[in-house]
Amino acid sequence: MSQGNTLILSRAKAAVLSRDYDAAERLYRQLVKQESNNVEYISLLADMYVKSGRDEKAIPLFQKVNELKGGDISALNNLGAAYRRMQHYQESIAVLEEALKLDSMNAQVYYNLGFTYKITGDYNKALGCFETVIDENPSDVLAYNHMGSIHETRKEYDKAVICYQKGLKVDQNHPVLHLNLAKCYEAMGQKSKALSEYEAALRSKPGWLEAINGYADLLMEEDKPREAGEVVKSALRLSPDDAGLHTRMGDSHYRRSAYQSAQEEYQSALEIQPEYMKALSGLADSFEKQGKNDEACETIATLERIAPEDLGVKAQAARIFISTGSFDAAASRIHNLMDVKKDDVDVLNLLGQYYIASGKPEKAQDCQKKIQSINPGYSKYYAEWGDRFRKDGSLDNARQYFEMALKKNPSNGEACAGLAQVYQAQNQNDMAVKFRDISNEVLKAQSQQINQNQTLTLTALLNPFKEQLQSFKDEVSKANTENIKNKSSFDEQFKSLLQLNKSLSTDAQNLTNALRGSKKMQGDWGEIELNRILEISGLQKNIDYFTQENFKNSENQNLRPDVVVRLPNER
């Protein structure tokens, strides 16, 4: 390789490291133009295209490498992966099978082939490929993860758990394995194990939004809104412009009956993402709870415009219209829902609320009978119907349903608060105070539980991130100190050389345009400019670089380069 090509190659590799892919492409193409069949240059150009997300340009290069080498397993493997990323699955499978003819037990090829089969839904073949990968390399955690996700997709949760756990034996801190295991446990109904795995994922990868979202959602499902709120609040410090996090924070406030705070969080989410449906849904509910009927109707109308066929939106609209007394609008949406899912207990719950609010409680009893015949364990409607009866002034019925809710769940704060309001309306002040105190005790108990757990749980989640930040700060501080003491450090020289590359490109054009004199004048001016550029880069003459040094090559010929830059370790 000529000295000039060596310099171009090093500049191209430096450009890739700095993600200046346009410069790298120009330099690599220059090399390929000079040596069109040089496998190294073609492969490097193809790899650069892959790194920059341009698989369509990499594919013909990998094909050429394979042709030049008369069959190359690495080129075929890279070609198969590129086809898969471009969703050309049949082409991917074909070239990977061709690669296996060259090496029938190559683990990398089997991994890519299994990945392609998985995407196309051919799970049996995919599992076979990943099993071969593990036979060849038992420490391949990604293969275990793929196998687990396939079993999970097929709802074979026990098998999925085994695969994820085997992967964690290889790497006990792998965040993706912990997250997938959490989701698997959640699907199996093993909520406590799921919570532990979410926590493990966040210890391994602090601030990971996907894990935070899953963890917060499960905490909400487990009726731990305060704890979910603390998790989300910590995440918001890292990602203040995340609409999803603001929405989850709103959900946490809403579940604790802090409706004004919930409204503010939902509105913050909508400032970031104006048509974010979850935030609009939460905002409509918070308006409803505060009695802001016009705002609630306006918000739900926006939701219906965005998703006119969404059944969840129809159900929410029906509930809000019941609260605002728009019974015709509510009835229309409930009938639409019943056309799609007539015997759904949630729809029957809504229909019962409609009958209570519109003064037809006897029909609500028919809805209750249907609910009990379909799902005897369904209890969500107890507190909701109690609240409808309370607002309608049917206080005895309200008390009956609130008591049913408390019998099902003694820590139901909403039912306690509802009963307190019923007794207050009936002038039974002692009972009102009693249930108001119980409601406050429920909230207090939840807060105390969180205070006891936060030190163990939340601190455990956040401390690794803080430690990583501190470690990073220490490394930066140490690097800065060393750079001050030693300006010729590799990092500084590397940055300087990158700047030199850019400066040389500009100055070369200036030199061409500016100088039309003698060769001697051009040479002298070039030496002056080169020295100036090197000094601007922070290099010192006769320390970091030397000019006009004399060398002899293998043929004893004199070589006299304009400048020699000395890198650390005598390079």
For residue 346, give both structure tokens: 């949630």
pTM value > 0.75: no
Bridge partners for 564 per DSSP: 546
- Sign for the pseudo-dihedral over CA of 252, 254, 256, 261: positive
Give residue-wise pLDDT tens across range 309-346: 999 999 999 999 999 999 999 999 999 999 998 889 99
Query: CA-to-CA distance for 543 and 385, rounded, in angstroms?
Result: 85
Ramachandran assignment for 105, one of left (phi > 0), alpha (psi -120 to 50 degrees), beta (any other): alpha
Stretch among 55-64, 316-325, 529-538 having the lowest mean pLDDT: 529-538
For residue 208, give both structure tokens: 């990971």
Residue 82's Cα: distance from chain center in Å?
Answer: 23
| 419, 400 contact by CB (below 8 A) | no
Query: CA-to-CA distance for 88 and 405, rounded, in angstroms?
Result: 55
What value does the mean pLDDT take over residues 277-294? Answer: 95
Which residues, at least 6 apart from 404, have a Cβ–Cβ distance to it below 8 Å?
379, 382, 386
Query: CA-to-CA distance for 147 and 209, rounded, in angstroms?
Result: 24
Give residue-wise pLDDT tens across range 177-199: 999 999 999 999 999 999 999 99
Three-state DSSP class for residue 359? coil
Query: CA-to-CA distance for 555 and 202, rounded, in angstroms?
Result: 62
In sequence order, what DSSP letters do the residues of 94-119 get, joined into one string? HHHHHHHHH-TT-HHHHHHHHHHHHH
Of the chain, the end-to-end C-alpha distance in Å amounts to: 18
Query: Which residue is associated with the tokens 């209570």?
Result: 356
Q: Are strands 558-559 and 551-552 parallel, antiparallel or unpaired?
A: antiparallel
Model pLDDT, residue 28: 93
> Which has more pLDDT, 416 or 43?
43
Model pLDDT, residue 553: 52
| 424, 432 contact by CB (below 8 A) | yes
Q: How many CB atoms lie within 10 A of CB 522?
A: 15
Residue 109 has pLDDT above 90, yes or no: yes
Query: CA-to-CA distance for 176 and 555, rounded, in angstroms?
Result: 58
Give residue-wise pLDDT tens across range 257-281: 889 999 999 999 999 999 999 999 9
Query: CA-to-CA distance for 32 and 38, rounded, in angstroms?
Result: 7
What value does the mean pLDDT take over residues 214-231? Answer: 88
Model pLDDT, residue 103: 93
For residue 514, give both structure tokens: 């500016």
Query: CA-to-CA distance for 425 and 461, rounded, in angstroms?
Result: 46
| 231, 219 contact by CB (below 8 A) | yes
Query: CA-to-CA distance for 424 and 293, rounded, in angstroms?
Result: 25
Model pLDDT, residue 338: 93
Query: CA-to-CA distance for 68 and 74, rounded, in angstroms?
Result: 13
In this structure, what are the phi and psi dihedrals at residue 541, rounded to the nearest 5 degrees? -65, 140
- Mean predicted lDDT score pLDDT of the chain: 83
Query: CA-to-CA distance for 283 and 299, rounded, in angstroms?
Result: 7
Model pLDDT, residue 68: 94
Three-state DSSP class for residue 547? strand
For residue 371, give both structure tokens: 């609910």
Three-state DSSP class for residue 426? coil
DSSP state of 300: H
| 63, 79 contact by CB (below 8 A) | yes
Residue 260's Cα: distance from chain center in Å?
Answer: 29
Query: Which residue is associated with the tokens 């996907």?
Result: 210
Residue 229 has pLDDT above 60, yes or no: yes
Helix (H) / strand (E) containing 443: helix 429-454
pLDDT tier at 497, thresholds 50, 70, 90: very low
Comparing CA positions, the residue from 321, 364, 316, 370 lying closest to residue 345 is 370
Query: Which residue is associated with the tokens 């996090």?
Result: 245
